[in-house]
């Protein structure tokens, strides 16, 4: 069945008319410049990272570079440091994205329904997102450091929350949520605008409560927007670096996989291992994106079934 | 065309900015480029102005041969190393002179990033210089840098609580215990956070117990019984009444603050705590005393780890000969004295420790010199960074150390680090 369908498709393809073929050639020509730029700025670095990850390569001793095949990947995957970092990263990703989704949805509803001062509300909500992450992270860091911070002063004397693994992870998540909830809210607000007003009013006339309208009407209609928001934020959260770098520097087992990669690349100067870590992060992100598309299926952007 | 214009535009500006050199420039038209060579000096960021002053003095003394530009590196040692490494790996010809932490020369020399000091230059670089400091700049019996400032720790204590300073760790912990029982301030302030300071503590204890972290050829871990003794002292300290509750997060500055806040009786730290105590806590300062670092066993003085900065000449510098001369000028007696008085950093020239100007503001100069004369050097290997990270990671937190098994873990991790195998945490 499937083979015959494939054969039919191949057959149909071969039978393109002269005009269609020329159109195709023109299309390829038109997108060629963009493809060339993409290859230059993304494909080449990725390929180079793959190449480096298969070597024993120390920045200090380039002459001693040696081909080791998948040895670096073996070293990373058998190291407890990698699994520790992956677990911390996964925890931060899941918790922060979950909180952001709920808070972002609430903020989106507020922004959507605000009758007066709409512009002011939206601007106020967006302020955290407009602040440079490193600047925000430093202000969090000072706030939580005993002696310099107003938040640390609220805690019992002698406690230094950024120096304990669990407390520090909690504070990293807090900083992430504070920072990126507006982004989530903005994406959800766009989705909210897609929900036709008359559908909601019809549900209202039918006697649906607010929760019923939200659960049965609004959320299903917003599914594509929610998926995009979740996908973006999950991939971003998985690559978290700046907040951790400033808040704890990855000490006390609070480092994410990106911090691990950075330390191995720039402190140990081990280009082979560092590139292998980068490639593994890349693979994790690819797997996450794939899972999202699979779960949400047709709702995913570009995932709609072929109609032609 | 455009390039020539900017060059031409630069000369009047340079001359205007350097009235001191203007006459020298006018009189000296024979040099090929017709002006002083710019000598880029990368060193730790100094807020006291001592380094900038040295750069100006030496530029002036060169009589128009070179103009030293002092470029400040990032504050943290890791940040400094990263910037230097990136520049040198890219063969940056603009790195003429650089300040290296005493643990880096082996790495930079092995990578071929710094020039060797030989002949008359070497003789001038090592004359009157502390032996341990020269050792830090030496790799495979060749000299790759010249000591700039040194540093070492002393035992600081309060004589209102501790009438007789302890000679050994056991004695100090017993005194702290007695103070705790009497309800008096009793903490021993030491660097217990997971960072370089923890490695320094371990190195001091291991060498004081007569051992070493690496074998003399730096090819394998040595450790052994002295390391077990050292790990045992760290554990005992962390689990005794002497331990500050935040021991496992403390670095030098937290130690200083704790001592100044009056909760501690002892502090093992660098001399910068002395002027700070004088400025911040004049009352406590009246009882603030110093003594040699306590030993591991009674009757055997401690060998405290040496710190400081070594100056090296970049391998890709276009003017190595001038760079060597400029380096020697930057670390000469006058400039080291200024650095010691303004910046508070102990010099690397022995004779300075007898200078009246220094002993006036450094009443503990003789004790610092004594400690530096018997100082121990941290493991010298190109893989030092990896070795140190492995050490600090395994020894943290100090209360969790199990002497025998921790030392055997260290052995495996150091072997991996030396072979640059595996990951760093």
The reply to whether B410 and B268 lie within a common domain is yes
**How many helices (H) and strands (E) are present in chain B, helices listed first?**
19, 11
> Which residues in B lie closer than 8 A to residue A88 (C-beta atoms)?
none
> How much is the average pLDDT of B190-209?
93
User: What length does chain B have?
Assistant: 425
Q: Which CATH number fits domain A80-268+276-299: 3.30.70.360, 1.10.3720.10, 1.10.274.10, 3.20.20.410?
A: 1.10.3720.10
Question: If you ran DSSP here, which 8-state letter would residue B249 be given?
Answer: G
> Which residues in A lie closer than 8 A to residue B107 (C-beta atoms)?
60
Q: Give residue B372's pLDDT band: very low, low, confident or very high (50, 70, 90).
A: very high
Q: Give residue A63's pLDDT band: very low, low, confident or very high (50, 70, 90).
A: confident
Q: Between B5 and A81, name the one with better pLDDT.
A: A81
The reply to whether B43 and B88 lie within a common domain is yes
Give yes or no for residue A161 having a pLDDT over 50.
yes
| Cβ density class A76-112: b for 16+ within 10 Å, e for less | beebebbebbbebbeebbebbbebbbebbbebbbebb
Q: Give residue A306's pLDDT band: very low, low, confident or very high (50, 70, 90).
A: very low
B424–A81 C-beta distance less than 8 A: yes
In 3D, which of A52, A42, A47 has the Cα closest to residue A275? A52
In a domain, B11, yes or no: no
What H or E segment, with its residue span, contains residue B65? none
CA distance B8 to B2: 10
Q: Give residue A297's pLDDT band: very low, low, confident or very high (50, 70, 90).
A: low
B82–A266 C-beta distance less than 8 A: yes
Distance, first Cα to last Cα, chain B: 52
Owner of token pair 């106020």: A124
In a domain, B21, yes or no: no
Give yes or no for residue B215 having a pLDDT over 80.
yes
Please count the structural domains in chain B: 2
ipTM: 0.74
The reply to whether B281 and B407 lie within a common domain is yes
User: Given A58, A163, A268, which is nearest B424 (Cβ)?
Assistant: A268
Owner of token pair 């020894």: B395
In a domain, B2, yes or no: no
Note which residues in 281-320 of chain B have CB less than 8 A from chain A.
Answer: none
CA angle B69, B70, B73 (to 5 degrees): 135
pTM of the full predicted structure? 0.79
Average pLDDT, chain A: 85
* Six-digit token string for B261: 């806040």
Q: Which domain holds residue B204?
A: 154-305+383-418
- Does B89 contact chain A (CB < 8 Å)? yes
User: Given B89, B246, B425, which is nearest A59 (Cβ)?
Assistant: B89
Q: What is the CATH number of the domain that holds B284?
A: 3.40.190.10
What are the boundaries of each domain within chain A? 80-268+276-299
Q: Give residue A77's pLDDT band: very low, low, confident or very high (50, 70, 90).
A: very high
CA distance B120 to B116: 12
pLDDT, residue A158, reads 63
B424–A263 C-beta distance less than 8 A: yes
Average pLDDT, chain B: 88
The reply to whether B48 and B191 lie within a common domain is no
Tens digit of pLDDT for each residue in B284-328?
999 999 999 999 987 889 999 999 999 999 999 999 999 999 999
- Does B90 contact chain A (CB < 8 Å)? no
User: Given A56, A158, A267, which is nearest B246 (Cβ)?
Assistant: A158
Distance, first Cα to last Cα, chain A: 19
CA distance B237 to B258: 17
pLDDT, residue A14, reads 57
In a domain, B146, yes or no: yes
In 3D, which of B68, B128, B64 has the Cα closest to residue B94? B68
In angstroms, the separation between the Cα of residue A74 and the nearest Cα of chain B is 9
- Does B257 contact chain A (CB < 8 Å)? yes
pLDDT, residue B7, reads 41
Q: Give residue A61's pLDDT band: very low, low, confident or very high (50, 70, 90).
A: confident
- Does B114 contact chain A (CB < 8 Å)? no
The reply to whether B414 and B362 lie within a common domain is no
> Which residues in B lie closer than 8 A to residue A56 (C-beta atoms)?
420
> Which residues in A lie closer than 8 A to residue B382 (C-beta atoms)?
60
Q: Give residue B166's pLDDT band: very low, low, confident or very high (50, 70, 90).
A: very high
CA distance B189 to B242: 8
In angstroms, the separation between the Cα of residue A92 and the nearest Cα of chain B is 19
B248–A163 C-beta distance less than 8 A: yes
> Which residues in A lie closer than 8 A to residue B386 (C-beta atoms)?
268
- In chain B, % of residues over pLDDT 70: 92
Tens digit of pLDDT for each residue in A164-223?
788 899 999 999 999 999 999 999 999 998 888 898 899 989 988 888 988 888 988 888
pLDDT, residue A86, reads 95
With H, G, I as helix, E, B as strand and everything else as coil, classify residue B150: strand
Give yes or no for residue B114 having a pLDDT over 90.
yes
In 3D, which of B198, B225, B373, B364 has the Cα closest to residue B302? B373
The reply to whether B367 and B399 lie within a common domain is no
* Six-digit token string for B161: 């609580």
- Best A64, A77, A255, A268 residue to mutate vs chain B (most B CBs within 10 Å): A268
How many interface pairs between A and B have CB atoms less than 8 angstroms apart?
60
Cis bond leading into A35, ω under 30°? no
B246–A81 C-beta distance less than 8 A: no
* Six-digit token string for A10: 């191949």
* Six-digit token string for B20: 């001191």
The reply to whether B330 and B364 lie within a common domain is yes
In angstroms, the separation between the Cα of residue B297 and the nearest Cα of chain A is 32
In angstroms, the separation between the Cα of residue B386 and the nearest Cα of chain A is 6
Strand partners, A49: none
Question: If you ran DSSP here, which 8-state letter would residue B243 be given?
Answer: B
3-state secondary structure chain A: CHHHHHHHHHHHHHCCCHHHHHHHHHHHHHHHHHHHHHHHHHHHHHHHHHHHHCEECECCCHHHCEECCCHHHHHHHCCHHHHHHHHHHHHHHHHHHHHHHHHHHHHHHHHHHCCCCHHHHHHHHHHHHHCCHHHHHHHHHHHHCCCCCCCHHHCCCCCCHHHCHHHHHHHHHHHHHHHHHHHHHHHHHHHHHHCCHHHHHHHHHCCCCHHHHHHHHHHHHHHHHHHHHHHHHHHHHHCCCHHHHHHCCCCCCCCCHHHHHHHHHHHCCEHHHHHHHHHHHHHHHHHHHHHHHHHHHHHCCCCCCCCC
> How much is the average pLDDT of A45-62?
90
In a domain, B399, yes or no: yes
pLDDT, residue B33, reads 53
In a domain, B28, yes or no: no
Q: Give residue B404's pLDDT band: very low, low, confident or very high (50, 70, 90).
A: very high
- Among the residue ranges A117-126, A155-164, B80-89, the one predicted with the least confidence is A155-164
Tens digit of pLDDT for each residue in A29-38?
999 999 999 8
Pinpoint the alpha helices (H) of B140-241. Answer: 169-181, 196-208, 224-239
pLDDT, residue B29, reads 37
The reply to whether B188 and B79 lie within a common domain is no
Q: Give residue B245's pLDDT band: very low, low, confident or very high (50, 70, 90).
A: confident
B245–A81 C-beta distance less than 8 A: no
Tens digit of pLDDT for each residue in B133-149?
999 999 999 999 999 99
The reply to whether B168 and B281 lie within a common domain is yes
């Amino acid at each position: 069945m499937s083979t015959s369908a494939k054969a039919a498709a191949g057959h149909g393809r071969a039978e393109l008319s002269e005009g269609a073929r020329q159109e195709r050639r023109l299309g390829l020509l038109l997108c060629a410049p963009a493809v060339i730029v993409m290859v230059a700025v993304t494909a080449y670095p990725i390929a180079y990272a793959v190449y480096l990850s298969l070597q024993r390569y120390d920045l200090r001793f380039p002459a001693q570079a040696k081909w080791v095949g998948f040895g670096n990947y073996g070293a990373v995957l058998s190291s407890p440091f990698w699994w520790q970092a992956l677990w911390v990263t996964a925890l931060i990703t899941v918790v922060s994205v979950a909180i952001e989704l709920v808070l972002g949805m609430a903020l989106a509803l507020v922004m959507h329904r605000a009758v007066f001062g709409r512009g002011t509300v939206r601007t106020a909500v967006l302020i955290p997102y407009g602040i440079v992450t490193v600047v925000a992270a430093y202000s969090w860091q000072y706030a939580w450091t005993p002696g310099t911070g107003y938040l640390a002063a609220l805690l019992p004397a002698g406690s230094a929350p950024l120096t304990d693994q669990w407390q520090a992870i909690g504070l990293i998540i807090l900083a992430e949520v504070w920072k990126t909830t507006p982004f989530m809210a903005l994406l959800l607000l766009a989705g909210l605008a897609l929900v036709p007003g008359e559908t909601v009013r019809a549900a209202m006339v039918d006697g649906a409560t607010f929760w019923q309208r939200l659960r049965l009407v609004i959320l299903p209609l917003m599914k594509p927007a929610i998926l995009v928001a979740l996908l973006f934020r999950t991939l971003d959260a998985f690559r978290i670096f700046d907040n951790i770098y400033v808040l704890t520097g990855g000490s006390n087992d609070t480092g994410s996989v990106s911090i691990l990669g950075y330390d191995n690349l720039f402190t140990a100067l081990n280009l082979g291992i560092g590139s292998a870590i980068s490639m593994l992060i890349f693979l994790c992100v690819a797997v996450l994106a794939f899972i999202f598309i699979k779960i949400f299926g047709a709702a995913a952007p570009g995932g709609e079934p072929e109609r032609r | 065309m455009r390039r020539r214009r900017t060059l031409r535009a630069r000369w009047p500006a340079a001359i205007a900015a350097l009235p001191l050199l203007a006459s020298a420039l006018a009189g000296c038209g024979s040099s090929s480029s017709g002006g002083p060579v710019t000598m880029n000096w990368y060193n730790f960021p100094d807020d006291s102005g001592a380094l900038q002053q040295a750069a100006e003095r030496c530029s002036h003394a060169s009589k128009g041969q070179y103009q030293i530009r002092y470029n400040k590196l990032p504050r943290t040692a890791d940040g400094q190393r990263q910037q230097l490494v990136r520049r040198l790996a890219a063969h940056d010809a603009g790195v003429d002179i650089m300040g290296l932490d005493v643990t880096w020369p082996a790495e930079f020399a092995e990578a071929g990033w710094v020039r060797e000091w030989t002949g008359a230059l070497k003789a001038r670089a090592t004359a009157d210089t502390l032996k341990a400091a020269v050792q830090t700049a030496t790799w495979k019996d060749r000299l790759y840098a010249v000591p700039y400032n040194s540093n070492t720790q002393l035992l600081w204590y309060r004589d209102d609580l501790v009438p007789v300073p302890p000679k050994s760790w056991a004695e100090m912990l017993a005194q702290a215990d007695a103070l705790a029982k009497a309800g008096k301030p009793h903490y021993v302030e030491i660097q217990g956070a997971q960072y370089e300071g923890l490695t320094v503590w371990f190195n001091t204890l291991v060498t004081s117990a007569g051992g070493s972290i690496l074998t003399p050829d730096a090819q394998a871990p040595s450790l052994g019984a002295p390391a077990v003794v050292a790990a045992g002292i760290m554990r005992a300290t962390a689990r005794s009444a002497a331990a500050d509750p935040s021991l496992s997060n403390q670095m030098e500055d937290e130690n200083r603050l704790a001592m100044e806040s009056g909760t501690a009786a002892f502090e093992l730290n660098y001399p910068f705590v002395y002027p700070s105590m004088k400025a911040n806590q004049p009352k406590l300062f009246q009882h603030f005393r110093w003594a040699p670092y306590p030993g591991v066993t009674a009757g055997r003085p401690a060998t405290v780890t040496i710190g400081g900065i070594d100056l090296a000449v970049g391998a890709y510098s276009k003017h190595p000969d001038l760079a060597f001369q400029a380096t020697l000028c930057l670390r000469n007696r006058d400039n080291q004295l200024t650095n010691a008085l303004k910046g508070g950093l102990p010099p690397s020239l022995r004779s300075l420790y007898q200078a009246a100007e220094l002993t006036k503001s450094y009443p503990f100069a003789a004790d610092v010199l004594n400690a530096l004369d018997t100082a121990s050097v941290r493991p010298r290997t190109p893989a030092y960074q990896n070795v140190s990270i492995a050490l600090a990671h395994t020894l943290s937190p100090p209360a969790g150390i199990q002497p025998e098994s921790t030392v055997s873990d260290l052995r495996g991790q150091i072997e991996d680090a030396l072979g640059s195998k595996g990951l760093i945490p």
